Structure 1
Amino acid sequence: MSTFFLEVITPERNFYSGEAECVIFKSIDGEMGVLAKHAPTVTTVNVGPLRIKNAEGKWTEAVVTDGFAKIMPDRVVIMTDTAEYPEEIDINRARAAKQRAEERLQKQLSQLEYMRSKTALARAMARIKATSK
């Protein structure tokens, strides 16, 4: 199968850099899969799982938060706020964050606070789901 060069970059580190056969992530329109020779596109990346099939055919899963992806026929660059492998996630911290976000959503919030709480809840849920596999 054809490959392309994939980079996943966060402000803290170069999370992934190498050849890939496929990458799958959540975008504003739902899950998006990218293969080599994809039409040039720029799209959002939403909180959720990131699945990478490397050049040897092995799948790797991670969790990413909001960002964007620049897709070209031979290269994909995903820039996101955070990216974590399941083994890097502190499950107790993720559960506590989920509980705090749910409690905040029960209160009357401004629109900005509501959106922040929804984002925090989505991030916590993605982390918990990634560690449960």
Structure 2
Amino acid sequence: MAQMTVELVAVERRIWSGEARFVLARTKEGEVGVLPGHEPTLAQLEEAGVVRIDTTEGPSITAAVHGGFLSITPENVTVLAEYAELSDEIDVSRARTARDRADTSEAKARAEARLRAADAAE
């Protein structure tokens, strides 16, 4: 089975690192699906999106990701985010409250991305 090394890193910490079969991320140019052997690519991540990593062992990893870059080589994928949070770390009630109280479209988009990531994990 073909695989690649994936790292999901936020400014404050490494979120996840391991081997994967597939990565799905939304960039400013649109959604990108990455398989091992992908063409080298550097793309800016959407300001508020969800990244899914299909690991070689165990369940998929889903994270809410805010800003940053996606770096792809044939053997590696690195998600360098300004902020990222794994789906199982998301407090859904708090994210709903943040969405409902958001005073800017950016804040609302971030809260909605967190809720999409949490929903994907269920």
Match of residue 117 from structure 2? 130
Provide structure 1 residue ranges, at least 5 long, that are not aligned to the other structure.
Answer: 105-116
CA contact (8 A) 2:15 2:86 kept: no
Q: 1:13 maps to which residue?
A: 13
Q: Answer whether contact 1:5 1:18 (CA < 8 A) is retained.
A: yes
* Residue of structure 2 equivalent to 1:94: 95
How far residue 27 of structure 1 moved from its aligned partner, in angstroms, is 0.8
- Number of aligned positions between the proteins: 119
Larger radius of gyration: 1
Q: Which runs of 5+ in 2 are unaligned?
A: none
Which range moved further: 43-52 or 56-65?
56-65
Q: Which residue of 1 aligns with 2:60?
A: 59
Amino acid at match of 1:59: S
Q: 5 Å matches for 1:16-31?
A: 16-31=16-31
Q: Deviations over 1:11-52 (max 9, x none)?
A: 111111111111101111221111111111100111222111
SS in 1 for 2:70: strand
Higher share in helix: 1
Corresponding residue for 1:79? 80
CA contact (8 A) 1:21 1:57 kept: no
Partner in structure 2 of residue 34 of structure 1: 34
Q: Give the TM-score of the pair, scaled to structure 2.
A: 0.87
CA RMSD of aligned residues (A): 1.5
SS in 1 for 2:110: helix
Cα distance in structure 1, aligned partners of 2:114 and 2:53: 17
**What TM-score do you get using the length of structure 1 for normalisation?**
0.81
1:118 to 102, 105, 108: 105
Check the 8 A contact 1:98/1:124 in 2, yes or no. yes
| Off by >3 Å, runs of 4+ in structure 1 | none
Greater shift in the superposed pair: 34-43 or 45-54: 45-54
